[in-house]
A = this chain, B = another copy of it.
Amino acid sequence: MTIAGIDLNMLANAGFPLASFEPGEVVFAEGDKGDKMYVVRSGEIDIERDGVVAETLSAGGIFGEMALIDGSPRSATARAKTACEVAPINEKSFLFLVHETPFFAIAVMRTLAERLRRSVPRG
């Protein structure tokens, strides 16, 4: 077991019910109250902040984890860039996955760490 190279596709393939979005459709909007995170199963999702695309996620990518972890309003808007399928994960499933699947917890941490490194201005 190593930390590097974890693939969240296994999660998206693990039988969580999927939600479908058409291009341009909003999954959630900045400022919304949130109680789910999402794993991208197919297609692409844009993460927009103040109307600017900060990140584009494809299969295996996760988003919306912040509101689930700390209960704060959505810090960004998630919009389907293409037709896409995502697996919504509510708090109960999240706690189950963290408990039963260390890979899942580490993948969420890695995603947060990557976003944090990108967001910190380097001197």
**Per-residue contact bits, chain A 41-76, to B (CB 8 Å; 1 contact, 0 not):** 000000001100000000000000110111110010
Among the stretches A7-15, A17-25, A81-89, A105-113, the one at the interface with B is A105-113
Instruction: Give the chain B neighbours of A110 by CB distance below 8 A.
Output: 69-70
A119's contact among B49, B71, B116, by CB below 8 Å, is which?
B116
Grouping DSSP codes into helix (H, G, I), strand (E, B) and loop, the A interface class, with mixed when no group exceeds half, is helix
Docked-complex contact B50 and A123, CB < 8 angstroms: yes
**Number of A residues with CB within 8 Å of any CB on chain B:** 32
8 closest cross-chain pairs (CB), A and B: A50-B123, A112-B112, A105-B105, A119-B119, A99-B102, A69-B113, A98-B102, A70-B113
30 contacts between A and B (CB under 8 A): A1-B95, A3-B68, A3-B69, A3-B71, A3-B95, A4-B71, A49-B120, A49-B123, A65-B113, A66-B113, A66-B116, A69-B106, A69-B109, A69-B110, A69-B113, A70-B110, A70-B113, A72-B117, A75-B120, A95-B106, A98-B102, A98-B106, A102-B105, A105-B105, A109-B112, A115-B116, A116-B116, A116-B119, A119-B119, A119-B120
